[in-house]
Amino acid sequence: MPRGAHQNGGTFVHVRMYTRRGMGSTEQAEHRGRPAHRRARDPEGRRAAIVEAAVAVIADHGIGGTTHRLIATRAGVPLGSTTYYFPSLGDLVDAALARVADECRSTLAGWGEALAAAPDTPGPVIAGAAAGYLENRDRAIVEYDLYLAAARDERLRPLVDAWVGEMTRVVATVCDARTAGAVTALVDGALIQALVTGRPLDGDLLARSVESLITGSDSGGNLRKDAPESSRGGTHTRERKQWRSAD
CB count in 10 Å sphere of residue 111: 22
Q: Examine the pLDDT at 3 and tell me if it is beyond 90.
A: no
Same domain, 137 and 208: yes
Same domain, 52 and 81: yes
Half-sphere exposure of 120 (CA within 13 A, CB side): 4
Q: Examine the pLDDT at 32 and tell me if it is beyond 50.
A: no
Same domain, 208 and 125: yes
Cα–Cα dist 227/217, whole Å? 7
* Domain CATH number, residue 73: 1.10.10.60
CB count in 10 Å sphere of residue 197: 8
220-229: per-residue pLDDT in tens? Answer: 445 444 545 5
pTM of the model: 0.69
* Domain CATH number, residue 240: 1.10.357.10
Look at residues 131, 124, 136 and name the one whose alpha carbon lies nearest to residue 200: 131
Same domain, 190 and 103: yes
The range of the structural domain enclosing residue 66 comes to 40-87
Same domain, 76 and 169: no
pLDDT bucket at 48, cuts 50 / 70 / 90: very high
CB 214 within 8 A of CB 179: yes
Q: Sign of torsion, CA 210 203 109 164?
A: positive
CB 59 within 8 A of CB 146: yes
CA end-to-end span of the chain, whole Å? 103
